[in-house]
Structure 1
Amino acid sequence: MFGKKFLFTRKSSPTLSFIAEGTKLTGNIEFTSDVLIGGAIQGQILSQANIIVEQTGNLHCEVKCRELIIDGYFKGRLICERLVIQAHGVVDGDVACTSMQINEGGQFIGLRIKEDNQTIHAHSLPSTTPTNVLISQSQEN
């Protein structure tokens, strides 16, 4: 028993990016894993995973992701497989999605197009010239 060698393989743990309240990002941003947003983003977001927007989160942008769960504010154009608007969430804009859920208190203002998964994945965001992402942190006195 003690003479045998055991090989332990480490399972890759899921990663999560976090954009804290008070942080402001401007530009074209890409995520490969889930992201939790409590700050503000203006520009374009391309994600291969899920985006969760807290009550303090504020997005003014074009977004393509797998799933958007929003409890904050979103204004712009959204392409996703699934949209969930939580009790404090507001979505204002054009949405192309396969599935949409609005919880009590959530608001949707705009136009929704129901698409199948294949069509959702074929959609693309308008290409723009790459820009640097500007990160700023608010300073409270």
Structure 2
Amino acid sequence: MFGKKAQPPIKSLIAHGTRVDGNLIFTEGLRIDGEVVGDVRAATEEPSMLVISEAATVQGTVQADHVIVNGTVRGPVHAAELLELQPKARIEGDVSYRALEMHQGAVIAGQLQPLEAGEEKPLLKLAANNS
């Protein structure tokens, strides 16, 4: 409805207090509340969503269709569709995206690279501070 695609369900969780050493490949949705040392990538067959919560840390490449960050990522981030940066997001690495939503307080230490979308310019949406 209103041109929005249905989001894939979050089916996997890396809980707070959990540390994963190694690369992860997931399908549909993944939420990280703990720590991952390695790459986190969505399988390319289906739409995907990755949520990196406020308490989470990822050291490695992050890649999914829809990426929501409110924690820390040390490595490049690639959002094939939408990248949402919440107020406590911290990214140390280059970022590529088709559409970007960035809240006040989010920090990126790296280059921003919009993905080519034919003749269209990439969508950049500035989020209002509602606090």
Q: TM-score, normalised by structure 2?
A: 0.74
Residue 59 of structure 1 corresponds to 58
| Structure-to-structure mapping, 1:76-87, within 5 angstroms | 76-80=75-79, 81-87=81-87
Aligned residues: 106
Q: Quick check: 2:84–2:101 contact (8 Å CA) kept in 1?
A: yes
Does the 8 A contact of 1:17 with 1:36 survive in 2?
Answer: yes
**1:41 partner amino acid:** V
Counterpart AA for 1:98 = R
* Long gaps (5+) in structure 1: 1-12, 119-141
Provide the secondary structure at the position in 2 that maps to 1:110: coil
Residues 105 and 15 of structure 1: CA distance in aligned 2, closer, same or farther (over 3 Å): closer
Does the 8 Å CA contact 1:96/1:115 hold for their aligned counterparts? yes
Q: TM-score, normalised by structure 1?
A: 0.69
Higher-strand-fraction structure: 1
State the partner residue of 1:22: 17
Report Cα offsets for 1:59-103 as digits up to 9, x if no partner: 111121011101111110121122111011111101111111210
Residue aligned with 2:88, SS: coil
What code does the residue aligned with 1:109 have?
A
Amino acid at match of 1:101: E
Runs of 4+ displaced beyond 2 Å: none
State the percentage of identical aligned residues. 24
Which residue of 1 is the match for residue 69 of structure 2?
Answer: 70
- Work out the CA distance in 2 between the residues paired with 1:43 and 1:29: 7
CA distance in 2, matches of 1:37, 1:98: 22
- Distance in structure 2 (CA, Å) of the matches to 1:37 and 1:104: 22
Distance of 1:84 and 1:21 partners within structure 2 = 21
String of CA shifts for 1:80-137, please: whole Å, max 9, x gaps: 122111011111101111111210111122101111368xxxxxxxxxxxxxxxxxxx
Q: Which has the higher contact order (CA 8 A, sep 6+)?
A: 1
| Cα distance in 2 for residues equivalent to 1:17 and 1:62 | 18
Secondary structure of the equivalent of 2:109? Answer: strand
Larger radius of gyration: 1
